[in-house]
A and B are shown apart, each in its own frame.
Chain A
Amino acid sequence: MTSMNRKPWAQSSFNFKVQLALVSTIPVAIGALFVILGGFDFSIGLIGVFLPIQVIVVGVFGWLKAKKRGLGDALLIFFTIFFSTLVLVLLLSVLGSVIFEGFKALTPHFIYENNRYVGTTTSLEYGGVGHAILGTILIVLLTTVAAVPLGIAMAVYLTQSQSKMRGVVRTVTQSLAGLPSVVAGLFILAVMQFTHLERSGLTGALALFPLMLPTVARVAEESLRLVPADLRMAALALGAPNHKAFFQVILPAAKSGILTALLLGLARIVGETAPLILTTNMNNTTNLNPFIGPMASLPTYVYNFLGSSYSSSQQRAWGAALVLLIFVGILFGAARILGRKKSLKTSKKAK
């Protein structure tokens, strides 16, 4: 289907576009005037002045164009754009504030130094998140080593086998994706009660495991499903047993999708806070052994320093949040680029 069919109403004349531009800018201008000249609070200007004027103007415009039909259409489009803009503004506000505040704390030494001798009031010239970055990387790697093979195996079960249990497994896996992160932490704590495991990086990694597994399984399942069935059939017809068909044909074909699964799984857990607060101890020095001793991580670092009201601590929290956000951004961006490559390949094939 072409995009034309999807929007049978999409044609519009130049004149109409000019009118539309007027309709959409006049209320904004009036609202802005009220805020600037009337000294209103921005929220009051938005909700009390701009919104009613915009609704009325858009409604009148629609009514003039096509009576009742136009009214409904105009309001639908206006509210769609209004709410979507709200989402965009919220997201940009989150990103903008973290980047803006975080950059104040971000210096080279903030990234590689650890926090030895740093208290809540120590100025930002000393100390940094180096130990927390290393801790996060180690903990997350430990989780990945366990969760990725298992997640891929689940995806294989969901796509390659003919079992009748697939639907149930899929539902349970998806429900696990909604596991509250604090419960994952409590679960590992309960396990620690029985096994006498000490709090360390390992317990933190274990607590992240149930959170990563469903994400990896779901994304890997989607990517395996995108591999044309012909490939598998061809391999089987040439006499390859199923496991060889998988490892030598399907897995290479789905390579970028599997990598995407890995990256999105990492992005899912790298910022998880509650499980790590419950199962690891905060540490101010670098610890490279995830099996013994306390281990810092970026989310718990943010959490700890946000708890104190001193401005230097708050700055540290913002700085660490920015570092965390950069991590997430890198993982997410890499996943996007891989995903785009994949879709390009399939679309070429389709031609």
Chain B
Amino acid sequence: MAIDQKSGSELPQRRKLAAGPLSKGDKWFYRATAISANFAFVLVALIVVFLFVNAWPTLSSQGISFIFGDIWNPDAKNPVMQLGPMLWGSILVGFSGVLLATPMAISAAYLIVYLLPKPAARVATTIIDLLAALPSVVIGLWGIAVFTPVAISWAKISNQLLGWIPIFHVKDPNSAFTDSPFIAGWIVAVMIVPIITSVTREIFSQMDDGLINGAVALGGSRFSVFRKVILPTSSSGIIGGILLGLGRALGETVAILYVLQLSFKINFFSVLESRGGAVASWILARFGEASSSEFHGLMAAGLVIFLVTLAVNMVASFIVNRAQPWRKN
């Protein structure tokens, strides 16, 4: 205030810092990190462009029916390639997996954060993380050799008890119950439980203690605290975690290939029927013997599943990031 605005000359000279905020080295340092960070965009763009260029022959000839049709006949004179049943199958398997995994994941997270003593909780966290690190080919191997017989007996029970519900209905009563979306859903659930659990656990453990103590002080029981305080405050984060799991489930390849009968006869809801679909597994299954026209079709399938999972994951990480404000700097 003491300085006269009109005579700026009275202002002290700007002092020169020994290390300028942006010395030459720093400029290069930040430029390098910025370039690497932007490489994430470049990578996404490259994937889209390369897949699109290779998929174009199929996409242009099939048009929108590539997504909705249900014929795959790549080697005819006029190749017809339509991905409908596989795409729907991916969604069916993904949703079965999420439905099976969510209760397990929320329970595990609740157990770790609110029930177990600290050392046991640490062990349980390690176990869940280890589950996340299992390679999908190992899970597939286990799924086909060990889990399928068990799942078949579960499928039989659910069919006998709940067969009157369309979802659990099977056309052929002597069906073998193998290779069904039900089994694939379980396999996928095993793979996405750790993803949902780790997001949910993080949200639970960062929850404001005051909220819980307040609810207990007001006479809340454990159940009412869980239902009225913990779940509502963490719901958006849990949904984000579930979407992350869904994204993983939609792109799962090898494990599903082992335990699911891929079929172009579309299977809408009957999860116990021995046929279903999965785009990623279809790509891998067909790839070895693909002709050049089918190659383009598989590229198009890859593009579709990439865009779907990218969209799901974007929404998921947006939600998760917003639900975890402590992660921002």
Give the contact stretch, choosing among B58-66, B70-78, B171-179, B220-228: B220-228
Q: A183 and B305: CB pair below 8 A? A: yes
Do B306 and A180 touch (CB < 8 A)? yes
Distance of A79 Cα from B106 Cα, bound (Å): 10
Per-residue CB contact flags for chain A residues 221-255 toward chain B (1 = under 8 Å, else 0) read 00001000000000010011111101000000000
From A113-121, A123-131, A171-179, A286-294, the one touching the partner chain is A171-179
Segment with Cβ contacts to B, from A15-23, A27-35, A88-96: A88-96
B302 near A186 with CB under 8 A, answer yes
**Shortest distance between the CB of A286 and any CB in chain B (Å):** 22
9 A–B pairs (Cβ distance < 8 Å), ordered by A = A73-B223, A94-B190, A176-B40, A176-B44, A179-B310, A182-B302, A186-B51, A213-B40, A273-B136
Within 8 A of A (CB), among B150-170: 150, 153-154, 157
User: Could you say which residues of chain B place their CB within 8 Å of the CB of A317?
Assistant: 141
With CB as the reference atom, state the residue of chain B lying closest to A180. B251
For window 92-120 of chain B, which residues contact chain A by CB distance below 8 Å? 103-104, 106-108, 110-111, 114-115, 117-118
- Stretch of A42-50, A104-112, A137-145, A196-204 on the interface side: A42-50
Inter-chain contact A159/B142, CB cutoff 8 Å: no
Assembly CA distance A41 to B248 (angstroms): 33
Q: Is A347 in the interface zone, CB < 8 Å from B? A: no
Interface: A299 (CB within 8 A): yes
Which of B5-13, B81-89, B264-272, B279-287 lies at the binding interface? Answer: B279-287
Does A13 make an interface contact (CB < 8 A)? no
User: Is B18 a contact partner of A239 (Cβ separation < 8 A)?
Assistant: yes
B321 at the interface (CB under 8 A from A): yes
B139 engages A44 (CB within 8 Å): no
CB <8 Å contact, A91 and B127: yes
Expressed in whole angstroms, the Cα–Cα distance for A332 and B54 within the complex equals: 38
Give the Cβ gap from A350 to chain B, nearest Cβ, in Å: 16
> What are the residues of chain A within 8 A of B133 when measuring CB–CB?
264, 267-268, 328, 331-332
Give the A-binding residues of B (Cβ under 8 A): 18-19, 23, 25-26, 28-30, 32-34, 36-41, 43-44, 46-47, 50-51, 53-54, 103-104, 106-108, 110-111, 114-115, 117-118, 124, 126-131, 133-142, 144-147, 150, 153-154, 157, 190, 193, 197, 209, 212-213, 216, 221-224, 226-227, 244, 247-248, 250-254, 258, 280, 283-284, 287, 298-299, 302, 305-306, 309-310, 312-314, 316-318, 320-321, 328-329
Pairwise interchain contact A306-B103, C-beta atoms closer than 8 A: no
Q: How far is the CB of A331 from chain B (nearest CB, A)?
A: 8
Contact partners of B316 in chain A: CB under 8 A: 174-175, 178
Are B137 and A321 closer than 8 Å at their CB atoms? yes
Encode contact with B along A247-281: 1 for CB under 8 Å, 0 otherwise: 00000000000000000100110111110011000
CB-nearest residue of chain B to A217: B40
* B141–A306 touching, CB < 8 Å: yes
Identify which of residues 72-88 in chain A touch chain B, using a CB-to-CB cut-off of 8 Å.
72-73, 75-77, 79-84, 86-88
> A3 and B25: CB pair below 8 A?
no
Q: Provided the pairs A153-B32, A177-B313, A193-B54 are in contact, do residues A80 and B104 lie with their beta carbons within 8 angstroms?
A: no
Query: Can you add 18 more A-B contacts, CB < 8 Å, to A6-B114, A213-B43?
Result: A9-B222, A43-B153, A72-B227, A76-B226, A84-B111, A87-B197, A93-B146, A94-B138, A170-B317, A182-B251, A183-B305, A190-B53, A241-B25, A273-B136, A273-B137, A277-B287, A317-B141, A324-B138
Contact in complex: A210, B41 (CB < 8 Å):
no
Q: Which of chain A's residues have a CB closer than 8 A to the CB of B47?
A: 179, 183, 187, 210
Contact assessment for A243 and B25 in the assembled complex, using a CB-CB cutoff below 8 Å = yes
Give complex CA distance A186, B309 in Å: 15
Contact A93 B213 (CB under 8 A): no
In the complex, chain B residues whose CB is within 8 Å of the CB of A75: 223
Do A157 and B26 touch across chains, with their CB atoms under 8 A apart?
Answer: no
A179/B309 in contact, CB under 8 A: yes
B43 touches A182 (CB 8 A): no
A9-B222, A94-B190, A213-B43 known; A153 vs B134 contact (CB < 8 Å): no
A66 sits at the interface (CB 8 A): yes
B108 touches A303 (CB 8 A): no
Question: Which residue of B131, B141, B222, B224 has the most chain A CB atoms within 10 A of its CB atom?
Answer: B141
User: Are A161 and B34 interface neighbours, CB within 8 A?
Assistant: yes
8 A-B pairs closest in CB distance = A271-B135, A180-B251, A72-B223, A83-B107, A153-B36, A243-B29, A174-B317, A175-B313
Complex Cα distance, B112 from A88, in Å, reads 13
Verify A299–B251 contact, CB threshold 8 A. Answer: no
CA distance A213 to B46 in the complex (A): 15
A346 within 8 A of B: no
Interface check A295, CB cutoff 8 A: no
- Do the beta carbons of B314 and A171 come within 8 Å of each other? yes
Residues of B close to A332: CB separation below 8 A? 129-130, 133
Which of B142, B248, B252 counts the most chain A CB atoms within 10 A? B142
Q: When the two chains form their complex, are residues B310 and A274 in contact, meaning their CB atoms are under 8 A apart?
A: no
Least distance between A343 CB and chain B CB atoms (Å)? 10
Contact across chains for B283 and A186 when beta carbons are under 8 A apart: yes
A5 interface residue per 8 A CB criterion: yes
Closest to B101 in A: A87
CB pair A83 B104 closer than 8 Å: yes
How far apart are the CA atoms of A16 and B46 in the complex, in Å?
63
Provide the bound-state CA to CA distance between A7 and B313, in Å: 34
A98 sits at the interface (CB 8 A) = yes
